[in-house]
Structure 1
Amino acid sequence: MQFDNPVNTKIFHTLVSQTHHDANQKTLATLPFFEEVREKVAACSDMDASYKSRIHQRIRDLSDQTLNLLVIGPKGAGKSATLKALFGEYDWQTEPPEEAQEVSRHQLNQMTIWQAQLPSEIESAPHQMNEVGALLSETTESGEPLIDRVIVVLDAASNNIDDCYLELCHTLIPMLGTMTENRLMILMNKSDKVARHIRGTSVNETMPLDAEIWLDCTAATLRYRLIHNVGVQTRPISYNALAGESPSGRPYNLQKLLASLLENLPEEKRLLLLNQPLTLGDEQWREHDDKKIYRQSMENLCFDGLHLGARDGDRFGGQLGAFLGKHGRALGNIVSDALQEKMGVTV
């Protein structure tokens, strides 16, 4: 079912174009990850001039891209908390209140984050539904959707998660039309509260196994209901953006969340996610479910994005880029070091 949107779908075009033009004027000064890589490549003695030139050109090509994300969900699910947990160094002081009834907008480094509530959560639902529909219908000059990914944030411990699922099926997914599957991500925040509900006050670990199983089952239920009812493939991710009720006093699964965002973004745009002012520190990124080595996944994606033709980092013996000779090894070390510095982690 295609959403019938009566609103002029170009209402965001002028604002976005001007913002991206202004951002492009200061690209070299505001892209810390690319700048870090560029400086390390320039200073590397294990790369010849032609290879350095290729990497520098690749960075320039990637720097010409822009990224647009829509973060949407019910009131109190933690949309703002999620953004702050990932991009905490950004100045969020101008952020509208959680109960804001309009689509709000934040401009970071060549990345625009649009934020909205699900229409059923607010009084002016028809107005905001039209506004969200207009935003999702907007296209770029090349005919591609303006919004690269729609990120739905749900409360994993909420009793109304079924209602949110139904609203996704009845309103948001029809707005996305024929390009839903490649543009939709579902996040389940506040997983620490699930652990408390299951274990009570006896929780003494970040995520006990029974709580993790419950979250996995809920995520799987959402996934297969979406496949069966609307034909959309997506894998919901459980996490908690803030320390909240976590016994460790740390967020949970943020590293998995960042790796999943990178993996699901368009290939030519994904590295823009790392050019943002990420929250720094081991305490922020340490706790996760250990189902994958998420830092390695991010390193592989970064390496593949910079060294065209590489896949999965071309690792050999655990060393990133080793299969590609001295240039690959050198770039692998640069990517690993730059990502570590970007996240502010020590290990």
Structure 2
Amino acid sequence: MNKRKANVFENLKEDVYQANMPEKEKQKILKNIMNLRDKKINIMITGATGCGKSSTINALFDMEIAKVGVGVDPETMNITKYELDNLILWDSPGLGDGKEADNRHARNIIKKLQEKDFSGHALIDLVLVILDGSTRDLGTSYELINSVIIPNLGRDKENRILVAINQCDVAMKGRYWNKEENKPEPPLVKFLEEKVQSVRRRIKEGTGVDIEPIYYSAGWKEEGEKQNPYNLSKLLYFIIQHTPKEKRLVYVNNLSRDTSVWRYNDNKKDYVHLIKKSFAETVSEYATQGAQIGKSIGSVFGKTGETIGGAIGGVVGGVVGAFKSWFS
């Protein structure tokens, strides 16, 4: 049986009920919490065959609770739908298995990108395009990005697409990957940084859209052996940054509880702290909107802070006090 940690929205409500504030303010905040709870995120995940979409999804999210289905439209039934509470993942088939199949998959992707939600907005909030870092032949991926996805994103294209280069550990046929420390050595870092810039430049030249690709490894498990992910926290941070702020709390309940997957990252930023901070900012800005708290927000949402930290806990140790400090 899958034992889940406390739901962040349940903790928000509990914190408000126990807070020392006027009943009118409590009801206002509780109404805001209900609005946040009802938000949904729709993410499409796509890429060429063999890029590692499934391993990325499994590493990022708690797939034990996922409900699996397919598109209700017969024309898009080959796009797999995973529902994790209000987080909905649309996993499109990989491209590169033949012209006829690729054309069919491209039509299905375009159809899904043009779909609207009940409010008339685009259904898909974010498209995560995964590239295979182990190959130099990215022609199929560029065709997917430049000719299929970006032309059908509508407005705000830069914030609705994220390009991530997976399998960075085998980008140079496994050379210069430090297995003991689970990180790239300087020659591989240089190679990967150049690859990032090359991808960025090719997309800019083809579409006029300036994006910021990242590289990572989703890790692997086979025959009793395991390699932990690398830069997965960075990938999650970028996903969150590309998500409308009022929808970000949806991730908290659905992240992988395997603490090892978040541990290994580059040292450019403290991604774990920034992830927690992003969640906390949503609570600060939206849960308390229109309410007069009259005290530190953190002093009200103590239990919620523990849950938010626990979502990616074990990476940097205890986080009970961290949530409060952001709102002092």
Q: Could you say which TM-score interval applies, normalised by the shorter chain?
A: 0.7 to 0.9
Per-residue CA distance 1:313-341 (angstroms, 9 max, x = gap): xxxxxxxxxxx984223257545422222
Displacement of 1:217 in angstroms is 1.8
Per-residue CA distance 1:172-222 (angstroms, 9 max, x = gap): 22233444322111111111112653327x754322222222212211221
Q: Tell whether 2:11 aligns with 1:42.
A: no
Question: Cα gap change, 1:30/1:67 in structure 2, threshold over 3 Å: closer, same or farther?
Answer: farther
User: Equivalent residue for 2:149?
Assistant: 172
Q: What is the CA–CA distance in structure 1 between the aligned matches of 2:278 and 2:29, rounded to whole Å?
A: 15
Q: What is the CA–CA distance in structure 1 between the aligned matches of 2:132 and 2:156, rounded to whole Å?
A: 25
User: Equivalent residue for 1:261?
Assistant: 239
Say which SS state the counterpart of residue 307 (structure 1) adopts.
Answer: helix
Displacement of 1:129 in angstroms is 2.1
Displacement of 1:111 in angstroms is 1.9
Q: Tell whether 2:106 aligns with 1:106.
A: no
Q: Tell whether 2:44 aligns with 1:75.
A: no
Amino acid in structure 1 at the alignment position of 2:238? S
Question: Cα gap change, 1:93/1:144 in structure 2, threshold over 3 Å: closer, same or farther?
Answer: closer
Say which SS state the counterpart of residue 136 (structure 2) adopts.
Answer: coil
Residues 230-245 of structure 1 aligned to structure 2 (within 5 Å): 230-243=207-220
Name structure 1 gaps, 5 residues minimum: 1-28, 311-323
Q: What is the CA–CA distance in structure 2 between the aligned matches of 1:218 and 1:329, rounded to whole Å?
A: 42
Per-residue CA distance 1:147-173 (angstroms, 9 max, x = gap): 111110111112322442233212222
Residues 165-244 of structure 1 aligned to structure 2 (within 5 Å): 165-194=142-171, 197-199=174-176, 204-207=180-183, 208-243=185-220
Per-residue CA distance 1:207-245 (angstroms, 9 max, x = gap): 222222221221122123322331112211211112469
RMSD across aligned C-alpha pairs, in angstroms?
3.3
User: Equivalent residue for 1:342?
Assistant: 311
Q: Tell whether 2:227 aligns with 1:249.
A: yes
Identity of aligned residues (%): 26
Q: 1:330 aligns with which of 278, 282, 299?
A: 299
Q: What is the CA–CA distance in structure 1 between the aligned matches of 2:258 and 2:226, rounded to whole Å?
A: 15
Per-residue CA distance 1:282-325 (angstroms, 9 max, x = gap): 31211111211112212221122111289xxxxxxxxxxxxx98
Q: What is the CA–CA distance in structure 1 between the aligned matches of 2:78 and 2:89, rounded to whole Å?
A: 14
Q: 1:280 aligns with which of 244, 254, 257?
A: 257
Q: Tell whether 2:37 aligns with 1:63.
A: yes
Question: Cα gap change, 1:336/1:210 in structure 2, threshold over 3 Å: closer, same or farther?
Answer: farther
Q: What is the CA–CA distance in structure 2 between the aligned matches of 1:124 and 1:243, rounded to whole Å?
A: 28
Question: Cα gap change, 1:338/1:51 in structure 2, threshold over 3 Å: closer, same or farther?
Answer: farther
Q: Tell whether 2:99 aligns with 1:125.
A: no
Per-residue CA distance 1:92-111 (angstroms, 9 max, x = gap): 69689xxx992111111112
Q: 2:133 aligns with which of 136, 149, 156?
A: 156
Say which SS state the counterpart of residue 224 (structure 1) adopts.
Answer: helix
Displacement of 1:91 in angstroms is 4.6
Give the number of aligned pairs: 299
Say which SS state the counterpart of residue 72 (structure 1) adopts.
Answer: strand
CA contact (8 A) 1:58 1:306 kept: no
User: Equivalent residue for 1:306?
Assistant: 283
Q: Tell whether 2:265 aligns with 1:294.
A: no
Q: Tell whether 2:1 aligns with 1:32.
A: no
Q: What is the CA–CA distance in structure 2 between the aligned matches of 1:104 and 1:220, rounded to whole Å?
A: 31
CA contact (8 A) 1:226 1:233 kept: yes
Q: What is the CA–CA distance in structure 2 between the aligned matches of 1:330 and 1:195, rounded to whole Å?
A: 50
Q: What is the CA–CA distance in structure 1 between the aligned matches of 2:19 and 2:128, rounded to whole Å?
A: 38
Specify which structure has the higher proportion of strand. 2
Q: What is the CA–CA distance in structure 2 between the aligned matches of 1:271 and 1:297, rounded to whole Å?
A: 14
Name structure 2 gaps, 5 residues minimum: 71-75, 288-292, 318-328
Specify which structure has the higher proportion of helix. 1
Amino acid in structure 1 at the alignment position of 2:267? D
